[in-house]
Structure 1
Amino acid sequence: MRAYVLLAVLLMLASPSAMALRCGNRLVTDGARDFQVRERCGEPFWSDSWIGVDVIGRDTPLERQREVQWSAWYYNFGPRALMQRLVFRDGELQGTETLGYGVREIGDDCRANMDFTGMSNGELVARCGEPAARREASDTVVYRPGPSIENWREQRREEWTYDFGDTRLLRVLHLLNGKVMSVETLAR
């Protein structure tokens, strides 16, 4: 019995991380640097970035503010594989998110009557391509997770307009922090 338990433990230690992303025959795990991910997986088809500020020692004699660069990279591995969203903090991979199935060609899997709600901006670009028009605005949201600590995060509001051409309607998608929150239909 001990031999089986020992074998199981050794197999778990030898197996790659469950949170690893496989690009070809190479693995990408949390903590990898952005240049390593690019080397192993290639260029993402879409990327998004935003800024945050971490404040340590608020209301104390020594306050430190540190700007944090966030980015999300999107990979499409084709229609038989799931798309991936990789989130980086200051160039270091913080996590991966599995999205829906990929597409054969970027922008070729879009219909005017799709349910866009909940899609990430990367999924939207994969399915529908770049919007015909795009507007952006942002707010700053301050989180206070503990005494003397603040995290300032940019809350990004976007409006993406898609013109499907074959209809008399335009679709205006309202995104918050890279996710579609609502869809509005406008006449031309």
Structure 2
Amino acid sequence: MKRLALLCLLLPMLAVPAHALRCGTRVVTDGDRDFAVRERCGEPFYVDQFTSVSVRGADGPLETQIEDVYDVWYYNFGPRRLMVRLLFLNGRLQREETLGYGVTTIGDSCNLDALPAGTSAGEIIAYCGEPAARRNQRRANVRRDGLGNERYTPVRVEEWTYDFGDKRLLRVLTLQNGRLQDISAEGR
């Protein structure tokens, strides 16, 4: 009876979280290193990267700057499963986000008119493929606490241009921090 009670207490600790990503029979959870995730799930179909910088002791005798590197990986598991966006901070998995349904072939399901604001960059690549051209503009928001500490957070503004061939307008997508903000049409 004591063994059964002990087993009942230990089982919840051994259970896999309901939100954990499963790659075949392997499980990926928050805190896993990027190389372990790649080993379990394979190569992502799209990767994005950005950084932020924290400053301690600004304007003092000793200033320390710490750069954090964020990697965003996108996985497509086919049209019957949801795509997954994984956010890594300095090589460790921080967050998993499920997206829309995957595609059979990258770029074969493009309907820009159906993409809502907030669609992730990886979803756009999955549905429409790589854009014909990209233009980037980088800005930063700086937060200061008045005690010599600052945090520089990038604001990434991207312009992606899609060219669908003869007699059609160019479509220009504006993304901010990896999310769709606007779609416009331009003449050739």
> Do both share a fold (TM > 0.5)?
yes
* 3-state SS, counterpart of residue 114 of structure 2: coil
**Structure 1 CA distance for aligned equivalents of residues 87 and 146 of structure 2:** 24
Partner Cα distance (1:108, 1:61) in 2: 57
1:163 paired residue number: 163
- Counterpart for residue 12 of structure 2: 12
* Distance (whole Å) between structure 2 residues aligned to residue 167 and residue 30 of structure 1: 48
User: Where in structure 2 are the equivalents of 1:130-169 lying within 5 Å?
Assistant: 130-144=130-144, 147-165=147-165, 167-169=167-169
Query: Following TM superposition, by how much is the alpha carbon of 1:147 offset from its aligned partner in structure 2, in angstroms?
Result: 3.9
Does structure 2 conserve the Cα–Cα contact (< 8 Å) formed by 1:19 and 1:30? Answer: no
Question: Partners in 1 of 2:84 and 2:69 — Cα distance?
Answer: 20
**Residues 133-170 of structure 1, C-alpha deviation per residue, up to 9 Å, x if partnerless?**
11111012113468433221221110001122265212
TM-score (norm 2): 0.89
Residue type of the partner of 1:96?
A: E
Measure how far apart 1:121 and its partner are: 0.6
Distance in 1 (CA, whole Å) between partners of 2:60 and 2:164 is 55
Partners of 1:180 and 1:8 lie apart in 2 by: 47
The RMSD of aligned alpha carbons is 2.3
Q: Map 1:84-103 to 2 at 5 A.
A: 84-103=84-103
> Aligned partners of 2:19 and 2:159: how far apart in 1?
33
1:90-129 aligned at under 5 Å gives the runs 90-129=90-129
> Post-superposition shift, 1:51?
1.7
Q: Percent identity?
A: 55
SS of aligned partner of 1:125? helix
Which shifted more, 178-187 or 140-149? Answer: 140-149
Distance 1:8 1:163 in 2: 59
Alpha-carbon separation, structure 1, partners of 2:8 and 2:171 = 53
For 1:178 and 1:123, the matched residues in 2 are separated by: 10
Shift of 1:119: 1.0
SS at match of 1:113: helix
Deviations 1:103-144 (A, max 9, x none): 111000002432342111100000000001111110121134
- Unaligned segments of structure 1, at least 5 residues: none
Pair 1:100–1:47, CA change in 2 (3 A): same
